A and B are shown apart, each in its own frame.
Chain A
Amino acid sequence: MINLTIDGKNVIAGKDMTVLDAARRAGISIPTLCHHPKLTSFGGCRLCLVEIEGIPRPVTSCTTLVGENMVVKTSTPHIVELRKTILELLLSDHPNDCMVCEKAGDCTLQDLAYYYGISENPYEGERRTYETRDGNPFIERDMEKCILCSRCVKVCDEVQGVGAIDFAYRGFQSKICPPFERDLDCEFCGQCVAVCPTGALTGKLWAHKGRQKNVNKVDTVCTYCGTGCNLTLHVKNNDIIRVDSAMSTWNEGWLCAKGRFGYSFVSSPDRLKTPLIKKRGKFKEVSWDEALDFTASKLKNIIKKHGADSVGGLSSARCTTEENYLFQKFIRAAVGTNNVDHCARL
């Protein structure tokens, strides 16, 4: 354990903790844009600069490990001035169209501008302009709002293992883009959208469906596969308008394309809500009891006539492990055959 002082407060921290972690755990807030607890540190936004006694220049708290008897000051007038300048610089190259921005209300840049009271900007100048071209149905990239925090690049590489995007060009012209600036053509997991601190990356399905307030957040479990990720559905007027997942869940907030964007089936008119049995060439809605009785009698007939090995069972990856276990038990013990397999093996 390491003892240090942050803003005059005695703090005890683990020896591998950064100053930022130690401060946040002690309830001392330090602003960040590029830092993400689940990703490796970047140190590019420079907002988490702090002063440490004995070190001549400000250092980034997200990359500095705690040290015994370290004396940290997180918000001296100089540090606050530097943070304001950094925010002014970021906002000088930003559309500042919060009124129509999808991210308003959930935007870290907006929060920080509010907190530090950035209104007039002495550094107004040239802004980067981009053509929006992506044809994909999932991810909206408004790169003029990109602050190059690299969180999208890191999540794509470090968590997803895909590396669909990276930095290109230098200096003010730097941008995050797919190789050769082509259209985004990845697996559209949307992890980048989840970690983006501004409105640069948003879900196309979510556009103009509703702000963060007045939504009913419903926690549920994804039904797409046996992994069982925790989802938070943003529901408005009984419609799902957005899906995300909290970092505190066992899936650490990470989701795939299906879990994040594949929710339109929930309110689809084509969705099956009761079992169907085909009678005289036409499907008819029936009760579960009737459907199960019907299936059981048909199975029994087949086994009687052709033997148990004439039956085979194929289970689905959408089932949980427990459901899959029960299914193979049923095929083996109740039906009496080893003809059982799972779609994930195909």
Chain B
Amino acid sequence: MAKETSIRVCMGPGGIASGGEEVLRAFGRELKKSNVKAALKKGCSMHHVGCMGLCARDVLVEVVLNGKTYTYQYVTPDMVSTIVSKHVVGGKPIKEWLVDDSYVNFIKKQTKVVLSDCGRINPESLDAYIAVGGYEATRSVLKSKTPEDTIEIIKESGLRGRGGAGFPTGRKWEFCRAVESDRKYIICNADEGDPGAFMDRALLEGNPHAVLEGMIIGAYAIGADSGYVYIRAEYPLAVERLRLALKHAKKKKLLGRNILGSGFNFDIKIKLGAGAFVCGESTALMYSIEGKRGMPRITPPRSTEAGLWGKPTVLNNVETLANIPYIIRNGANWFASFGKGKSKGTKVFALTGKIKNSGLIEVPMGISLRKIVYDIGGGIEEDKKLKAVQTGGPSGGCIPASMIDINVDYESLAKVGSIVGSGGMIVLDEDDCMVNVAKYFLQFTQSESCGKCVPCRVGTKRLLEIMERITSGRGKTSDLALLEKLGNDVKSASLCGLGQAAPNPILSTIKYFREEYEVHIAGRCPSKVCKELLTYSIIEELCKGCCACLRACSSGAITGEKKKPHRIDQSLCVKCGACFEVCKFKSVDRE
């Protein structure tokens, strides 16, 4: 087999943000040059791919030469001509630009199932997906499996909903299959809204056909003839690639009437979400598709009985659906061989925060948190001390560093007051203030509450007010008990998952970092994050009277003559920290 020379440029969210488009254009220009063309007799293919994973080192570029893959990191357009001339043409990799061992570890320690083709294939090419086995699962299901067989495979695989709730996918399909109806729907929930989470986005941008294939198989299994992808409009590239994928799939008769000559009809529509977090909740999402206000309703009836337009509906998350073709292709046992206990398969996480290798990772369920943070993540930035890992986004909780050996699966995380959630994983270090982190997430859920039920609408607002009180020096000793009482009541009394989970960040941080709250109430932020609790003062013995702080102070709070110690008038100080930043003699004290 002829060894193909090819170049892959990461154009996932991180890649594009780091200038992937410019790098891609630079490669295009370079490869068109006559001397390069002449040198590359067999030619060289170049394409953009979805997220490669290690977003922190974008733009990542892979050069495949003589069957070997070389990965360049931090590529900028001006490096491109050198890479082409020395490596692609000259055959000599530029070692100092290549990724180091930590990247190799980052990749090696992961288990890629659903992401296995993401970052490798051109997401805008149906042929590229087919070349790696795409739509084989569809073909085999439509040709040789009954819907019941298909459901059985998914049940056996142990796949559970990757959107956060972890409901067994096969059972959900089975419920819907069992309901008699003239019409059924399958919906892909791509309304990914957790702050810091981009798993679904990366999948849709990196391998949209896998999601479509999952939907086709799901539709066949439950007996649906139409489907919707509910995707947030803030993901324009994902929408564009999804539209393109739909177009290509229809052209190849993989969607529409009589798919692959099997007599099965199924089509997919895209519905853009308008930016409401609560529309990720299944019933609110369906109302939103119907053109109504996105407000959750009380279940039962479950969506599998009466969902979209009152018809039986299965709603699966992007990652859940993208897993389907791989399970069908490789078998239920293969999938179930990953993971632990009741949590089978792999899970994609968006690893962010104070971690060296921030990016998109896929690991087997049940892996220890330590392995994620230290082996894959490469440890804490600047080798600082790990304080906690926040999982599950605004609905999740904080796992303290002392529990670093916990297994990351549905049951284990729930036991310690957090959740797997959709896959956000934020690493916090010693400089992070846990009270502030909890406040941040609450701010998010509070403003995203739909307003329907009282505990969530007013309760989260009051919780936030108490948090604001505590972080601004107005906290009362009774506030901690009040937070716990109200937090638990909001959890118990709220209508949907948003309100029921909204107090989690607070409750879990109180559980594990109680003393941090107490110190705040006493008027101090130990991590020096909560601005209003800080006092800036000048240590006279260290001050050289250079006037740098005086010039930097925008509120006129600093006075002093040249070469004499300066002073800060606390009544004028707005605690912006400019003096602290600018002082070269460490004479500004922040306490």
A46/B482 in contact, CB under 8 A: no
**Which residues of A lie under 8 Å from residue B486 when comparing CB positions?**
85, 123
B454/A172 in contact, CB under 8 A: no
Complex partner residue of A170 from B297, B451, B453, B495, CB under 8 angstroms:
B451
Complex partner residue of A172 from B293, B458, B494, B500, CB under 8 angstroms:
B458
Complex partner residue of A44 from B276, B446, B453, B492, CB under 8 angstroms:
B453
If the complex has contacts A85-B455, A90-B458, A93-B458, are A122 and B482 also in contact, measured as CB distance less than 8 A?
Answer: yes
A82/B461 in contact, CB under 8 A: no
Interface: A315 (CB within 8 A) = no
Q: How far is the CB of A233 from chain B (nearest CB, A)?
A: 35
Interface: B462 (CB within 8 A) = yes
How many residues belonging to A are interface residues under a CB distance threshold of 8 Å?
A: 35
Interface: B162 (CB within 8 A) = no
**Which residues of B lie under 8 Å from residue A86 when comparing CB positions?**
454-455, 489, 493
Interface: B449 (CB within 8 A) = yes
Q: Digitize A33-44: 1 where CB-to-B-CB distance is under 8 Å, 0 elsewhere.
A: 000000001111
A166/B293 in contact, CB under 8 A: yes
Which residues 437-457 of B have a CB within 8 angstroms of A?
446-455, 457
Interface: A110 (CB within 8 A) = no
Interface: A148 (CB within 8 A) = yes
**Which residues of A lie under 8 Å from residue B460 when comparing CB positions?**
171-172
Complex partner residue of A43 from B453, B461, B485, B492, CB under 8 angstroms:
B453
Q: Digitize A171-192: 1 where CB-to-B-CB distance is under 8 Å, 0 elsewhere.
A: 1111000000000000000000
Cα(A46)–Cα(B458), bound, Å: 12
**Which residues of A lie under 8 Å from residue B462 when comparing CB positions?**
89, 92, 123, 125
A125/B461 in contact, CB under 8 A: yes
Which residues 43-95 of A have a CB within 8 angstroms of B?
43-46, 49, 57-58, 60, 63, 78, 81-82, 85-86, 89-90, 92-93
Q: How far is the CB of B502 from chain A (nearest CB, A)?
A: 11
Interface: A288 (CB within 8 A) = no
Q: How far is the CB of A290 from chain B (nearest CB, A)?
A: 63
Which residues 463-502 of B have a CB within 8 angstroms of A?
465, 482, 485-486, 489, 492-495, 500
**Which residues of A lie under 8 Å from residue B448 when comparing CB positions?**
170-171
Cα(A63)–Cα(B496), bound, Å: 14
Cα(A58)–Cα(B492), bound, Å: 7
Interface: A126 (CB within 8 A) = yes
Interface: B61 (CB within 8 A) = no
Cα(A45)–Cα(B450), bound, Å: 13
Interface: A147 (CB within 8 A) = yes
Interface residues on B, range: 20 to 34
Cα(A166)–Cα(B294), bound, Å: 12
Measured CB to CB, the nearest residue on chain A to B456 is A171
Most chain-A Cβ atoms within 10 A of its Cβ — which of B460, B462, B500? B462
Interface: A169 (CB within 8 A) = yes
Interface: B298 (CB within 8 A) = yes
A148/B451 in contact, CB under 8 A: yes
Measured CB to CB, the nearest residue on chain A to B482 is A122
B449/A46 in contact, CB under 8 A: no
Measured CB to CB, the nearest residue on chain B to A169 is B451
Measured CB to CB, the nearest residue on chain A to B277 is A170
Interface: B212 (CB within 8 A) = no
Q: How far is the CB of A40 from chain B (nearest CB, A)?
A: 10
Interface: B295 (CB within 8 A) = yes
- 6 interchain pairs, CB-CB under 8 A: A43-B495, A46-B453, A46-B494, A58-B493, A78-B492, A93-B458
Q: A85-B485, A170-B448, A171-B447 are in contact. List 20 more A-B contacts (CB 8 A).
A: A43-B298, A43-B453, A46-B495, A58-B493, A60-B495, A82-B489, A82-B493, A85-B459, A85-B493, A86-B455, A89-B458, A125-B461, A147-B454, A148-B457, A167-B451, A170-B447, A171-B451, A171-B460, A172-B451, A172-B457
